[in-house]
Amino acid sequence: MHSLLTAVLLASSLQETAGEAWGPAPTPLPELGLKGTALLGGTVLGCSALAGSFAFVRQGEACLIERLGRYKRTLTAGLHPKLPFIESVAAYSSIRERVLDVPAQRCITKDNAPLSADAVVFYRITDLTKAKYAIDDYRLGVSNLVLTQLRSEIGQLTLDETFTAREQLNAILLREANAVSRAWGVEVLRVEVRDILPSPEIISAMELQMAAERRKRAAVLESEGKREAAVNAATGRRDAVVLAAEGERARLTAEATGMAEALASIGSALAGARGDAAAALLVARAKIAADLALATSTNAKVIVSGGGGGAADAAAVAGATLGLGRDVPVVN
């Protein structure tokens, strides 16, 4: 300490002799002597010892204390006493959850497709002692562990499977990483495969395949639409024919039923006491209807009727009854 003060005084004297460029000469320091030097040294030593007697640890962090180079204890959040010059802080680290970015690496799939993959690891230190003394660099260890395991797992999958097996990859990487990292005092909480990027050649081939697949789906959909349209048209025609046939059958059935009822009525009438007169009336009505149809035609015609008898009279009577009078000529 005395030599230090002597050096300071010597520098002051040199400044004084150097000229005006140095400015006014400072006031010389008083001579402390041996006793003053010892007192000053003791004060500095005491302050240093006082400062080294405590260790302050923040919340969410921890530190390791070594005594004479050997691990002694682990300190958590708070103010802790320690022996100055004998005990020292060997490590100070956060015990909160932390993020480790695993860089991308080149991988080869099961079907020999090259791609690059990277991941993100979420971890925290559970035992700072092991993280300090069990491994030199736990971050590098966890990163390399995830990288090698990721490459191994992708090598067991095909290219198409890698795009749908992210959850499976995450679970396997988490399990395998924790199996090793626990010995380092590190717990891996989550592993997320972030990007799986095929090579540009593979991407181009996948785009071509996707375009061809879309064209194929479009052609299939168009052909299915045409087939359904043809089936619907054929079904419509079939239903129309069936409905028409059913309508015709219903019509014929109704006509047959009416004819049967009419014939039954006529038969009942003919079987009566005046059956001959009823038969003559029917014949006369039929003849009158035929003559009426001929008479209403615009062409010239000649109506020839059979020789007299009861039928002609009946026709005349029926004609008079129906109000035809002389409009229907009868030629014998």
pLDDT for residue 159: 87
Asked, for residue 60, whether it belongs to a domain, the answer is no
Q: Per-residue DSSP letters for 176-194?
A: HHHHHHGGGTEEEEEEEEE
Rg (alpha carbons) of the chain, rounded to whole number: 60
**SS3 at position 88:** strand
Q: How far apart are CA 37 and CA 1, in angstroms?
A: 6
Residues 102, 194 within the same domain: yes
Asked, for residue 10, whether it belongs to a domain, the answer is yes
Residues 21, 106 within the same domain: no
Q: What is the CATH number of the domain that holds 132?
A: 3.30.479.30
Asked, for residue 209, whether it belongs to a domain, the answer is no
Q: Which of 115, 102, 113, 124 is nearest to 193 (CA)?
A: 102
Residues 42, 113 within the same domain: no
Other beta carbons less than 10 A from residue 98's beta carbon: 15
Q: Do residues 105 and 147 touch, judged by C-beta distance below 8 A?
A: yes
The single-letter DSSP state of residue 26 is P
Q: How far apart are CA 54 and CA 45, in angstroms?
A: 15
pLDDT for residue 179: 92
Residues 119, 192 within the same domain: yes
Asked, for residue 260, whether it belongs to a domain, the answer is no
Asked, for residue 47, whether it belongs to a domain, the answer is yes
Asked, for residue 241, whether it belongs to a domain, the answer is no
Asked, for residue 311, whether it belongs to a domain, the answer is yes
Q: How far apart are CA 307 and CA 128, in angstroms?
A: 140
Residues 119, 179 within the same domain: yes
Q: How far apart are CA 170 and CA 159, in angstroms?
A: 17
Residue where a domain terminates, one of 51, 66, 86: 51
**SS3 at position 72:** strand
Count of the separate structural domains present in the chain: 3
Domain hosting 18: range is 1-51
Residue where a domain terminates, one of 33, 51, 69: 51
Q: Which residues of 141-168 are buried (b: 16+ CB within 10 A; e: fewer)?
A: bbbebbbebbeebbeebebeebeebeee
Residues 134, 193 within the same domain: yes
Q: How far apart are CA 134 and CA 221, in angstroms?
A: 64
Q: How far apart are CA 43 and CA 14, in angstroms?
A: 30
Residue where a domain terminates, one of 174, 198, 222: 198
Q: How far apart are CA 89 and CA 111, in angstroms?
A: 53
The tens place of each residue's pLDDT in the chain, 332 residues long, gives: 444 444 444 444 444 444 444 445 455 545 555 666 666 666 655 666 556 677 888 888 999 988 888 888 888 888 888 888 788 888 888 889 999 999 988 999 998 889 999 999 999 999 999 999 999 999 999 999 999 999 999 999 988 888 888 899 999 999 999 999 999 999 999 999 988 888 888 878 777 888 888 888 888 998 989 899 999 999 999 999 999 999 989 989 998 888 788 777 777 766 766 666 667 777 777 778 777 777 776 766 666 655 544 445 545 544 444 444 444 444 43
Q: Which of 80, 74, 78 is nearest to 92 (CA)?
A: 74
**CA-angle at 65, arms to 60 and 68, nearest 5°:** 170
Asked, for residue 76, whether it belongs to a domain, the answer is no
Other beta carbons less than 10 A from residue 218's beta carbon: 10
Q: Which of 32, 212, 199, 196 is nearest to 119 (CA)?
A: 196
Beta bridge mates, 105: 117
Residues 102, 190 within the same domain: yes
Residues 110, 182 within the same domain: yes
Other beta carbons less than 10 A from residue 115's beta carbon: 20
